[in-house]
Amino acid sequence: MRQCCCSLHLRHADLSVHFDSKTVGGTAELHVNVNQSGTTELLLDTRDLIINSVADKHTGQDLPFKFAEEHKALGTKLTIGLDKKLSEGQSINIVISFSTMPKSTALQFLDPSQTAGSKHPYLFTQCQAIHARSFIPCQDTPAAKLTYSAAITVPTPLTALMSAVPQNSPEASADGAPTHTFKFQQEVPIPSYLLALAVGELEYRQIGPRSKVWSEPSMVEAGAYEFADTAKFLSAAEEVAGEYVWGVYDLLLLPPSFPYGGMENPCLTFVTPTLLAGDRSLVNVVAHEIAHSWTGNLVTNATWEHFWLNEGFTVFLERKIIGRLHGEKALQFHAANGYLSLVDSIHQIGETHNFTALVPDLSGGVDPDDSFSKVPYEKGFYFLYYLQGLVGGSQPFEAFLKTYLQHFKFKTLTTTDFKNYFCDHFKDAEAIQQIDWQTWLYSPGLPPVENDYDPALGQAAEALAKKWHTSDLMAVGSTGPQGASPDDTKDWSSEMMVAFLDKLASYRAKQPMHRKTTRRMAELYGLDSSKNAEIRGSWYKLAINAEDEAVLPLTVQFLKEQGRMKFLRPLYKALFRSRMGKDTAVQTFKEARQSYHPIAAKMVAADLQVD
């Protein structure tokens, strides 16, 4: 949908949360700047919104509006007639009275029984990629950035949080109603997909000078322990990327149905409870979301075709943070493991599929959600790491990164913008002449050049994977490598165990293991009893591919207790492809579907070919 004639800011949203009807309603005051003389109408994106009225804030005059025909992926264009022709540079404030519908894809309402405390309901939003339009009428494209203020009225004793800086203590209702109002201000321009709201029985613990962790009371102490190093991540990120401009950096530990590992909402990162490993072994997700404060939130892809500019850069900065805190070998270890996940993703999607290109073609109304995978993350990182090597290594490339972020901060850009800036910055570096931009950016499949990573930290995991692979080459079953014992993985971190499982899975991509062999692995290494979500995800997938029926009840339990798409989609797909688990996959999804976020439910339903 074209919105080039006007740009806007969300001057103020005054919203109330209604748990009984599972809706959010109120008013949105939009400050509209005219970019093209002769403009007579404003175009906005909506989906499943009820528009009650639209008015000129200054005159109070009602403004005409109409909906276009609904598009399955993009929703419904809202056209608002302005009361006069406006010239370039003029502005107008309009007030839209609206309400969401219960089927809004941006909102997930949870009944008390779905929360940790079981006493109060809960609401959280997920607007990426194009779901903000089902939360509030807006220009729902990353190309349009906005600032906003908001007042959110919720039932007492619940707390409201947003992707913005809280302005004061909650204000009690003036009419004695059992509600109170929270106020927020976001002064840094953000794309609409970073609008975020959460409401629930929430408490916080201070975990640093700029940071709190919020959660339901029963989980807040675990969250405070798990994310205690947040301040260190922030400081390391600033060393690489420059000043943190958002003021506060808080974390909200969400209920299990949250569909992602984390969501980089400014000032308030949403994180999944699957990170609560008890040993801080999975908090690299926080490093990733902190990195987004620069790459994605501050400098943003102009359209979803260029998503790698958000995620590839963020993985690159995330691993720079890890390198600062844990050493260069740790960075190399994560880079090598990331390549394994890239290979697996491309294998699953198809090596010639458009979605495996760094810049895919999403024309024709493709839903960006359908194209998301590890490709923009890991292929993007792989490309940037390759470029870093060409221009002389970390020192010159990190200097470039800082100038790049400074140049494009508060703005959006395309891949061509990045390419032009990079080539100008390194115009004296002869090595960049060898870059095959067309293949790297627009061709599907694996990267055209191989990167070399230091294998030091991953050698033990890779060696053990190779031993298990060769012990059952013909997939007829074995008791494992000679001398295999629990000591093989003694004192291993969870990251090492995942690296071992994923490397073994890559060896067995074409010929899965025999279930007798996976049973022996479970016996020796205690894999069936692991509580670590990352280990469980990798282990269950490997064992399902081996037609190992012993993991079926464990997998079903895992699929029902959390809704993170990183685990849902690969495990449901593996079950659905297997001889033993196809019916189990469909039945489990039918039973658990209502507990999943709408985005996750939609994607899994497509994977399982069910309505």
**How would you write 264-295 as a 3-class SS string?**
CCCCEEEECHHHCCCCCCCCHHHHHHHHCCCE
The CA distance from 84 to 224, in Å, is: 54
- What is the token pair recorded at 197? 């709201």
Pick from 188, 189, 298: nearest CA to 238: 298
The CA distance from 406 to 242, in Å, is: 8
The CA distance from 208 to 205, in Å, is: 9
The CA distance from 435 to 383, in Å, is: 10
Pick from 237, 250, 316, 326: nearest CA to 281: 326
To the nearest 10°, the Cα dihedral for 312, 314, 319, 322?
Answer: -170
Strands 179-191 and 197-200 turn out to be: unpaired
Catalytic residues: 289, 377
For residue 99, the SS3 value is: strand
Cα separation values, 410 from 173, 253, 288, 541, Å: 36, 27, 20, 41
The CA distance from 110 to 302, in Å, is: 33
The CA distance from 214 to 252, in Å, is: 5
Pick from 320, 439, 454, 440: nearest CA to 379: 440
Nearby residues of 535 by Cβ (< 8 Å), 6 or more positions away: 494, 497, 498, 501, 527
Cα separation values, 481 from 362, 456, 485, 542, Å: 47, 22, 9, 17
Please give the biggest Cα pair distance in the chain.
84
Pick from 198, 201, 226, 259: nearest CA to 562: 259
**Phi, psi for residue 327 in degrees, rounded to 5:** 100, 160
Exposure b/e, 164-188, CB count within 10 A at least 16 = b: bbbeeebeeeeeeeebbbbbbbbeb
Which residues share a beta bridge with 54? Answer: 96
Q: Please name the residue ranges forming H helices in 426-493.
A: 437-442, 459-471
Strands 76-86 and 65-67 turn out to be: antiparallel
The CA distance from 569 to 577, in Å, is: 12
Given phi > 0 = left and psi -120 to 50 = alpha, else beta, which region is 339?
Answer: alpha
The CA distance from 30 to 550, in Å, is: 57
Pick from 100, 6, 82: nearest CA to 41: 82
Label residue 486 exposed, middle or buried (CB < 10 Å: 0-12, 13-18, 19+): exposed
Compute and round to an integer the Cα radius of gyration of the chain.
Answer: 25
Which residues share a beta bridge with 145? Answer: 191
